Amino acid sequence: MSFPKDFAWGAATAAYQIEGGAGEDGRGPSIWDTYAHNKKIDLLRNRMNILNGDTGDTACDHYHRYKEDVQHMKEMGLLAYRFSISWSRILPEGRGKVNEKGLKFYSDLVDELIAAGIEPYITLFHWDLPQALQDIGGWLNPEMPDLFGKYVKVVVDALSDRVTYWMTLNEPQCHIIIGHIDGECAPKQRVTDRQGFYLIHSILKAHGKAVRIIRKYAVKKPQIGIAPNPSAYYPSTDRKEDVQAAKKMAFGITSRNFWCSTWWLDPIFLGCYPEDGIHIFGDDFPLEMIKPGDMEMISEPIDFLGCNFYQGTEIRADKSGEPVIVPRKPGFDMTAFKWGVTPQILHYMPNFLYNRYQIPIYITENGLSMADWVSLDGKVHDPQRIDFMQRYLLELKKAIDDGTPVKGYFAWSMMDNYEWSNGYTERFGMIHVDYETQKRTLKDSAYWYHDVIKSNGKSLLIE
Ligand code: NOJ
């Protein structure tokens, strides 16, 4: 039952969701500061941007408490920790003058992690674009890939003597689609489909630019990846027909939407946008946006594909083998966020992705929010998180047994944090955070995960 030797057992967070220290030591505002501080009712959605008007001003106060947090990670036995860097803490204006205090924070965090025996995995962009760059057009500004590259160079110069693992972007799909096309997250734009493609192309170019910079300047030989959230599907049964149908669904574009993984991953791994999607969008796919050299930059080789997986859609094959969505039955198992419990995605999706792109895979996020509180006994009992993770990890092992190179698993999240538009209402952590007192309490799942890590997965087997 053991997982592969050197499997990276970890947990993940992101800067705006945990750091706080929003106005401190020279940090500039990001689009999430602006979005969260706008407390007017959005008439289209009949609600404030963030539930309760919560902001990330203080969040988990990790900016001041990172040493304590690293000790908790050590207590949990984490071997790896994925965190993101706040661009506007490093470059308050998004470009130009470097904020040395901001850089020092991350440098100290890296030292602390290494001293605790925890491997740092850095995400360079987790949605918190500097507001100053949004003010010049954000990702629609053609300078953005270069500006991202310059920021990445500053980080690489400061940390690559100790950091090996780099992820360029977190869930670019959510950032671009929800933030710019649906307009329900920062920066709250509602652009046309054509502009949507310009945004996708721009952020993918930024990814490619960053890969080149890391490869060229990193001191330690880097391992470079990206952490998107591929749309997830799983077959009703393991019959060949159903598995093929689920795979077809995962990579086929049959309607006008931007979520299909191939919009995001084919350019990176195959060097082109998907033909079926281009056909569906017709004239709304702006072919003229692709300039000579762009696709080469976007498809600059990387070392791994990170995947954030939470829930998926069940698919079966109809008589002619075509995919059909199987609706969820009444009473389907749900997390607090009303996301379905669908562990099979960790078996099938890594297989599908490896089969198509031939690249080692990390699960860079997986987990659930639950209504956790501190019980009268002072502990936080979260049996459903344990059961959820156990189910998902047992499925992941099947992918490994099928021969898919899965290199690591990062639980979302190391601790409770700011769940974007849902503020502090969703608790995803294995460590409970009391936001009034900033007291941390390891949940039962943290101790359970400790044993999973220590046994390299053996303890997942049910006796
Ligand atoms: C995706 C995002 O990367 C992370 O920031 C978010 O909190 C979790 N998934 C849960 O929604």
Cα of 131 from ligand 1 centre, angstroms: 21
Beta strands in 111-248 (DSSP E): 119-125, 165-170, 223-227, 233-235
pLDDT digits (tens, 9 = 90+) for 78-135: 999 999 999 999 999 999 999 999 999 999 999 999 999 999 999 999 999 999 999 9
**Which residues are within 8 A (CB) of 279 and not within 5 positions of it... i.e. 6 or more apart?**
none
Domain locations in the chain? 8-460
* Rg of the chain, C-alpha, whole Å: 21
- Asked if 343 contacts 384 with a C-beta cutoff of 8 angstroms, the reply is no
* pLDDT above 70: residue 261: yes
Specify whether 171 is catalytic.
yes
pLDDT digits (tens, 9 = 90+) for 188-199: 999 999 999 999
pLDDT digits (tens, 9 = 90+) for 129-182: 999 999 999 999 999 999 999 999 999 999 999 999 999 999 999 999 999 999
pLDDT of residue 2: 87
Task: Say which of 171, 395, 419, 426 is annotated catalytic.
Answer: 171
Is the C-beta atom of 128 inside 6 A of ligand 1?
Answer: no
Task: Say which of 19, 112, 314, 365 is annotated catalytic.
Answer: 365
Task: Give 239's pLDDT tier (boundaries 50, 70, 90).
Answer: very high
Beta strands in 30-72 (DSSP E): 41-42, 47-48
Q: Rounded to whole angstroms, how far apart are CA atoms 137 and 176?
A: 13
Atom of ligand 1 at shortest distance to CA of 229?
A: 1
Percent pLDDT > 70 in the chain is 100
Atom of ligand 1 at shortest distance to CA of 337?
A: 11
HEC-encoded secondary structure of the chain: CCCCCCCEEEEECCHHHHCCCCCCCCCCCEHHHHHHHCCCEECCCCEECCHHHCCCCCCCCHHHHHHHHHHHHHHHCCCEEEEECCHHHHCCCCCCCCCHHHHHHHHHHHHHHHHCCCEEEEEEECCCCEHHHHCCCHHHCCCHHHHHHHHHHHHHHHHCCCCCEEEEEECHHHHHHHHHHCCCCCCCCCCCHHHHHHHHHHHHHHHHHHHHHHHHHCCCCCEEEEECCCCCEEECCCCHHHHHHHHHHHHCCCCCCCCCHHHHHHHHHCCCCCHHHHHHHHHHCCHHHCCCCHHHHHCCCCCEEEEECCCCEEEEECCCCCEEECCCCCCCCECCCCCECCCCHHHHHHHHHHHHHCCCEEEEEECCCECCCCCCCCCECCHHHHHHHHHHHHHHHHHHHCCCCEEEEEEECCCCCCCHHHHHHCECCCEEEECCCCEEEEEHHHHHHHHHHHCCCHHHCCC
Tokens of 94: 């998004």
pLDDT of residue 1: 73
Cα of 111 from ligand 1 centre, angstroms: 26
Q: What is the length of the chain? A: 463
pLDDT of residue 463: 66
Rounded to whole angstroms, the maximal C-alpha distance in the chain is 64
8-460 under CATH 1.10.240.10, yes or no: no
Place of tokens 């509602």: 190
User: Which of 84, 231, 420 has most ligand 1 atoms within 8 Å of its beta carbon, as the pocket-test mutant?
Assistant: 420
Is the C-beta atom of 421 inside 6 A of ligand 1?
Answer: no
Residue nearest atom 6 of ligand 1, based on CA coordinates: 419
Q: What is the pTM of this model?
A: 0.98
Residue 153: Cβ within 10 Å count = 16
In order of 115, 374, 434, the CA distances from 440 in angstroms are 21, 10, 7
Is the C-beta atom of 388 inside 6 A of ligand 1?
Answer: no
Is the C-beta atom of 266 inside 6 A of ligand 1?
Answer: no
Task: Give 426's pLDDT tier (boundaries 50, 70, 90).
Answer: very high
Residue nearest atom 2 of ligand 1, based on CA coordinates: 171
Is the C-beta atom of 242 inside 6 A of ligand 1?
Answer: no
Percent pLDDT > 90 in the chain is 98
pLDDT of residue 70: 99
Specify whether 365 is catalytic.
yes
Cα of 240 from ligand 1 centre, angstroms: 33
pLDDT of residue 153: 99
- Asked if 125 contacts 148 with a C-beta cutoff of 8 angstroms, the reply is yes
Average pLDDT over residues 343-350: 99
Burial class (CB in 10 A: 0-12, 13-18, 19+), 263: buried
Is the C-beta atom of 362 inside 6 A of ligand 1?
Answer: no
Cα of 279 from ligand 1 centre, angstroms: 31
DSSP for residue 424 = G
* Residue closest to 340 by CA, chosen among 349, 353, 330: 330
Is the C-beta atom of 123 inside 6 A of ligand 1?
Answer: no
* pLDDT above 70: residue 250: yes
* Residue closest to 162 by CA, chosen among 120, 124, 103, 125: 120
Residue nearest atom 5 of ligand 1, based on CA coordinates: 14
Is the C-beta atom of 171 inside 6 A of ligand 1?
Answer: yes
Q: Rounded to whole angstroms, how far apart are CA atoms 426 and 445?
A: 16
> SS3 of 293, please?
coil
* Mean pLDDT across the chain: 98
Is the C-beta atom of 365 inside 6 A of ligand 1?
Answer: yes
- Asked if 397 contacts 457 with a C-beta cutoff of 8 angstroms, the reply is yes
